[in-house]
Structure 1
C-alpha cells in the first residue's frame, strides 16, 4: 500500500511541476522574452528539473513494485530512508503549491526586463519607476527649454561634423547669415567663408581633431546676399563618453556694428590727439615766434646801422646785405608761425571764392612753369566765405606750390570751387566739422603722392619731406592755421605714385546783392526697393559705411575689394547698379564698367574717388558725362546719386 502511495505521489508532483514549467515558458515565449527574461527561464528550469526528479522517484517505485526488492539493499535503515524521502517530497510539493498560489495572486511581469516580484519589492519598484519618470520629465522639460533658448538666440549656433558639414542651424544663424536651415544643412561650412576663410576653417577643425578644447577667433564671413560681416566665433568639440570627437559646436556673433563703432571711436580719438598735438605745437611755435621776432628786430636794426656806417666799404656792405636778406627770410618764417598759431592780426571780410580763384590763376600762370597744365574750375553758383583775403590767397598759393613741387616732371594741377553738404560724421577731417553746407576748395595734382605715415604728419609745423634748404615745413601748417581760424577744415586724399587732393571746407555766408543764391533743401531720397548695388571699394572702413547706408535704405549691397572679386560677385549675385572706385590695382573702375556693361548693356554705373572730377576729367581717366561721387560724401549724396542714376533701367 505504501509503495502505491509513494508512486502516486511522485507522479502527481512530477505532473504538477511539469504544468508549472509550461505555465512559465509559454507566456514568456509568446512575449519574445525566452532569452532576455533569464530569471523566468531559470525558474522554469528549476521546476522542470524537479518534475524530472519526481518522475525518477516514481519510476523507481514502479520498478520496485514490478521486480521486487532485489534491486534494493537488504540492510537496516531502508524504511527510514523511504519515509524521509516521502517527507521531502511532501515538503517540495508544499513549496510548489505556495509558489503556484503566489503566481496566481501576483502574476508574471512580461514587459522588457521582466522579473518575478513579491508584494514588498513591488512597492519599491513602483517608487523607483516613479522617480525615473519624474527625472525623465524634468530632463525633457530642460531639453525643451534649452532648445527654445538656442532657437531664439541672436547668436548663430551651428552644429558641425568633425569634417565641417553643417548638421544644426538655429534661428540666429538664419538672421546672421541669411540662409534658411533647409539651405544650410548638409553643406560644408566653407559656404560662409569664401576662399580666404576656408583655410582658416580647415586649420581650426584640424586643431579640434588633434585635441584642442575650444578655440575663439574673429573672422570675416559672407551673408547670403554677398554682404561681408565680421563675426566673433567660439568653436567647441563635442565628444562621447570614450572621448572620441563626434561633432563640433560653433557659436558666431555678429560684431560688424561693434567694429564700425570701434573704428569710428579710434578715428575720433586720433583726430582728438592730432588736434591736441597741433595745439601744443602751435603754442610752442607761437612762443618761439614772438621771442624770435624780438631778436630779429635787434639784428635787423643793427645791420641797417652797419650798412649806413660802411658806405665807403662796398665789400663789407655786400656781406651785410646778405645778413639783411637772411633776416627777411627769418621774418617771413616767423610770420608764418604766427599765422599758424592764430597770433597774427587778421582782417576777415566776405570773399567770393570765384574771385579768389581768378586772382590765383593769374598769379600761377606766370610762375608755375610750362611743364604744369593748370585747370581752374570756378563754381557754377557764386560762393562767399568770411575770411582774410590775403590769408585765403596764401592757402591757395601754398597748396599750389606744394602740388607743383610734387610734379617735377610735369603734370596737371586742378583748382576747383564748389559746395558740399556734410553730415558731421566724415572721416579724416582736420578738425571735424558739424553737419551743414560748406564752400569747398579742391586742389588736385597728378604728382608723386604720399604714404599714410607722411599724410598723418603733413600739417605739423617744421615737418617736411623736401630736401634740406628746399622747404621749411611751415607751408601746410600755415594752411591749417588759416583754415581753422576761419572755422573750416581740411581733408587730404593721397596715393603714392598717383597724386594728391586737398579739400578746404569753409563756412558759407549770405552774400549781399544776391551774390549767393541758397539752394533749396533736397527732398529725402527714395528707398532702394531691394535693388542690388555692386560696391567695389578697397577701403574696408568705407565699404562698411556704404553697406550700412545702402541696407538701411532698402538696397542690397554686394561688396568686392577689387575688380576680380567684383566680376565673381556679379556672376554670383548680379546687380542693378555698379558703384565703383576709379583708381584700383589690376582692373580700374572704368575698365570694370566696360567688362560688366558687355555682359549687361545699359547697366547704370556710378564712379567714386578721392580725386576731384575735374582732375580725373583733365587726365582722361573719366569721360565728362559720367555719374561721379566725390569722397568724402554724405549718405544723402550717395542715395540721391543712386536714385538719379539707378532710375535708368538697364537693357535686358
Structure 2
C-alpha cells in the first residue's frame, strides 16, 4: 500500500502544459459565437421590450452585467470539462507507462533467470548461403550451458573457430528459419562444443533468429546406455537356447526369438509369427487350461504340454509365463529328450526291480528244486530199472530239468548266472553259430551276415552270446511267418558320455556293435517298451514263456553292454547290441577232460551250513552215504560256532552264500581268520561274479550253482578235498 501511495504522490494534481492548443481553440470559438449572438440579438430584444430610453440604458447596463456573468459561467464550464478530460488522459498515460515498466522488468527477470539458454542473433548470408551470425543478445543461461563468455556483438566464427566446418547443419537450419520465418525444433550433437542440445528456433524478423536451447548430453548418454542395454538384452533373448515369446490372449504371437521357432519346428521366427499359438498344441484343451490358470494366478511356472511340429514330430515343452495387461510373456524349454531320459531311467529302474525280484524267485525256487532233484536222484538210484516207480521218478526229474531251465532264464535276465568270460572274436562266433541259426529260423527266411573288421574282440561268455543270437533269431522267425530276411552285422562304434548318461550305467569308449534286423511285422511303441520284461509276450497263450528277450537283456547287461530295440509296424525290428571292445589275446580252448562215471566218496569231516532245512537234510544224506562225516549248521553264526567247537576235525566247509544272521561270505571270513588254510565250497543260486563283487575275489573258493545234483556235489567235494590247502 505504501508503494502505491508513493507512486500517487509523485503525480501532479494539475498536469503542466494544460490546456493543449486544441482545447483553447475550442473555448475561443465557443466564446466568439456566444458573444456575437449576444451583441446581435440583445439590442433588438431590448428595443422591442423597452421603448423608453431611460429604461433602455438601464437594461443595457444590466445586459452587460448579465453577459459578463453568463460568459464567466460558460468559460468555467468549458475549462472544467477540458481540465477533466486532459487529467483523465494524463492518468491513463501514467498507468500505461507503469504497466510497460512492470512488463519490461518481468521479461528482463525471466530472460535473466530462465534455465534454458537464449540467443538473439542476426544471420549473415553470402551468395544467399548462411555463412555466419552475430550474437545480438544472450542470457545468463547461455554462458552457463555453453561455457562461452562476452559474445554479444561478436560473430560466432570468432567465438567458436571452426564451428561452420564442424557443424554445417546448424548453420543450414538457422539460415532457413531466418529466411522463411518458419520455426523449427530439433536435437543435435554440436561437435565444436562436444555436447548434445535441443533447440527451438524462430525468427522475429527477416534475417534474424532466436534460439532457445538446453543441454541434453546426460539424457542422450542415458538413452544410448538404455539402447545398448536393450540391444544386448534383445541379442541375448534372440540367441538364447530357451524360447522367449509374447502373445495376446487371443492366441497371436507378438514376438518370438529364434530358439522359440526352432523348438516349435519352424525355420525362422518370422514363419512362427505368421501362425496362431494354438496351431502347435497337440491337445487344444491344454491352452484353455493354461489360460485359466494364468488368469487365476497372474503367473505360471513349469506348465508341461505336448506339441506337434509342422513336420509331425511330437515334443514335450514346459512353459513359464506371466500375464500383464492381457499380454502373455513367457519362456519355453524343450524337455523332449529329458522326458525320454526319464522314461528310460524309469524303465531301467523297473527292469532292475524286476531283475532283483526274478533273481530272488530263482534263488528260492532253486532251493526247492535242489530238494526235488536230490531226492529224485536218490529214488532213481534206489529203484531198479524194471520197477514201475522208476518211470514216475524219471518224469519228476524231467519236470525238474524244465523248471531248472526256467530258473536259468530268470537268472540270465537278473544277471545272476555263471559266466565264463574270455576274449571272444565276434566274427568267428557269428560264423560258428550261423549253421545253428539256419536250423532255428527255417528255410523260408534268409540269413545275411555282414562281418566287420578282422579283429573285433570282446570279453564275453561265448556260450551266452550264442544264446543271445539264437534268441534273437527265434524272435525274428516268429515275426516273419511269411518269410523274410534276418541280417546280422558287426562293426565298431565310439560311445560318448551322452549315450552312457542316457542308459544310466557303463563308460564311454570303443564298443563292438552287433546289429540283428528282421523284415517282419514290427511292433508298436507300447510293445517295444515292454519287450525285455520277463513273461511279457505277444504270442498266444501256451506258445511262449516271454523270457527269450529278457534273457538277451540280462546277458548283455551282465557283459556291461547295452541293447536297444527299434521297430516300426509293417517294416521290421532292429536290435543293436553294444559290447566293450577288448585288446586281450584269444586263448586256445583246452581239450575236454574225461568224465568220471561215478564220483568217489571219502571219510573226511565236512561242516555243512545251509538255512533251508530240506536242502540241509538232503546234502547230509548224500554226503554221509558217500562215507563223509557231516556237521550241520543252520546259518552263518551257527557255522562259525560249530567250526570253533570242531576246528581240528573239519576238513571242508560248505557254505550257502545267502543265509540269515550271517551270510556265507561273512562266516567264511571269520572261519578263515581262525584257520587260514581251511578249504571251502560255496553253494548259491547266484553267480560267481556276484560272490566276487561281494568281496570273495581274493579267496580261492569254489562255487556250486543250485539246483545241485548229488553226483555233482560229490564230485566237487572230492576235487576240493584233494586240492592242496591254500594257506590263506
Superposition TM-score, scaled by structure 2 size: 0.46
- Which residue of 336, 347, 361 maps to 2:434? 361
Q: Which residue number in structure 1 is paired with residue 349 of structure 2?
A: 276
The answer for the alignment partner of 1:96 in structure 2 is: 96
Q: How does 1:158-237 map to 2 (within 5 A)?
A: 190-193=270-273
User: Which of 452, 463, 473 is residue 379 of structure 1 equivalent to?
Assistant: 452
CA contact (8 A) 2:458 2:581 kept: yes
* CA distance in structure 2 between the partners assigned to 1:165 and 1:62 by the alignment: 96
Q: 1:497 aligns with which of 562, 567, 570?
A: 570
Secondary structure of the equivalent of 1:426? helix
Per the alignment, residue 224 of structure 2 pairs with 144
Judging changes above 3 Å, is the alpha-carbon distance between structure 1 residues 141 and 337 closer, same or farther for their aligned structure 2 residues? same
**Alignment check: 8 A CA contact 2:490 2:512 kept:** yes
Secondary structure, in 3 states, of the residue corresponding to 2:487? strand
1:390 maps to: 463
Kept in 2, the 8 Å contact 1:489–1:505? The answer is yes
Aligned to 2:87: 87
- 1:299 corresponds to: 372
Deviation, structure 1 residue 340? 2.6
Alignment of 1:290-439 (within 5 A): 290-302=363-375, 323-426=396-499, 430=503, 432-439=505-512
The answer to whether the Cα contact below 8 Å between 2:366 and 2:404 also exists between their aligned partners in 1 is yes
Matched, 1:469 2:469: no
What is the CA distance between 1:408 and its match in structure 2? 2.1
Tell whether the 8 Å contact from 1:303 to 1:320 is kept in structure 2 after alignment: yes
Q: Report the CA distance between 1:67 and its aligned residue.
A: 7.5
Q: Which of these residues, 523, 528, 531, is aligned with residue 450 of structure 1?
A: 523
d(CA) in 2 for partners of 1:481, 1:159: 50
Q: Distance in 1 between matches of 2:115 and 2:580?
A: 88
Local SS of the residue matching 1:480: helix
What is the Cα deviation at residue 362 of structure 1? 0.7
Deviation track 1:129-171 (CA, whole Å, cap 9, x = no partner) reads: 989987966554433322221223222499999999999x9xx
Mapping of 1:258-273 within 5 angstroms?
259=334, 262-273=335-346
| Residue-by-residue CA offset, 1:520-549 (whole Å, 9 max, x unaligned) | xxxxxxxxxxxxxxxxxxxxxxxxxxxxxx
Q: Distance in 1 between matches of 2:563 and 2:246?
A: 51
RMSD of aligned alpha carbons? 5.7
How far has the Cα of 1:443 moved from its partner?
Answer: 0.7
Contact 1:443 1:503 in 2 (8 A): yes
CA spacing shift, 1:448–1:89, aligned 2, 3 Å: same
TM-score by length of 1: 0.50
- 5+ residue gaps, structure 1, are 12-56, 107-116, 179-187, 223-227, 239-244, 516-652
Q: What SS does the corresponding residue of 2:90 show, helix, strand or coil?
A: helix
CA distance in 1, matches of 2:33, 2:308: 103
Greater CA drift, 288-297 or 75-84: 75-84
* In structure 2, distance between residues paired with 1:199 and 1:66: 110
Equivalences for residues 7-46 of structure 1 within 5 A: 8=20
In 1, the alpha carbon distance for the partners of 2:505 and 2:25 equals 118
Could you tell me how far apart the structure 2 residues matched to 1:89 and 1:349 are?
A: 133
Give the Å deviation of 1:312.
Answer: 7.2
Contact 2:425/2:455 (CA < 8 Å) preserved in 1? Answer: yes
Q: What CA distance in whole angstroms lies between the structure 1 residues aligned with 2:74 and 2:419?
A: 153
Counterpart Cα distance in 2 of 1:273 and 1:174: 33
Instruction: Measure how far apart 1:377 and its partner are.
Output: 2.1
Q: How far 1:289 sits from its partner (Å)?
A: 0.6
Q: Equivalents in 2 of 1:322, 1:68: separation in Å? A: 174
List alignment gaps of at least 5 residues for structure 2.
Answer: 1-13, 38-72, 119-140, 146-197, 199-212, 239-243, 263-267, 589-728
Number of equivalenced pairs = 415
Per-residue Cα deviation, 1:88-118 (whole angstroms, up to 9, x for no partner): 2211111233345566x56xxxxxxxxxx44
1:155 to 237, 240, 245: 237
Question: Which of the two has higher C-alpha Rg?
Answer: 2
How many Å apart are 1:383 and its aligned residue? Answer: 1.8
- Alpha-carbon distance in structure 1 between the residues aligned to 2:33 and 2:322: 89
* SS of residue paired to 1:425: helix
Q: Matches of 1:311 and 1:302 in 2, distance apart?
A: 17
Separation (CA, whole Å) in 1 of partners of 2:540 and 2:33 = 142
The question of whether the paired residues in 2 share the 8 Å contact of 1:375 and 1:413 is answered with yes
Does the 8 Å CA contact 1:420/1:439 hold for their aligned counterparts?
A: yes
Aligned equivalents of 1:348, 1:142: Cα separation in 2: 74
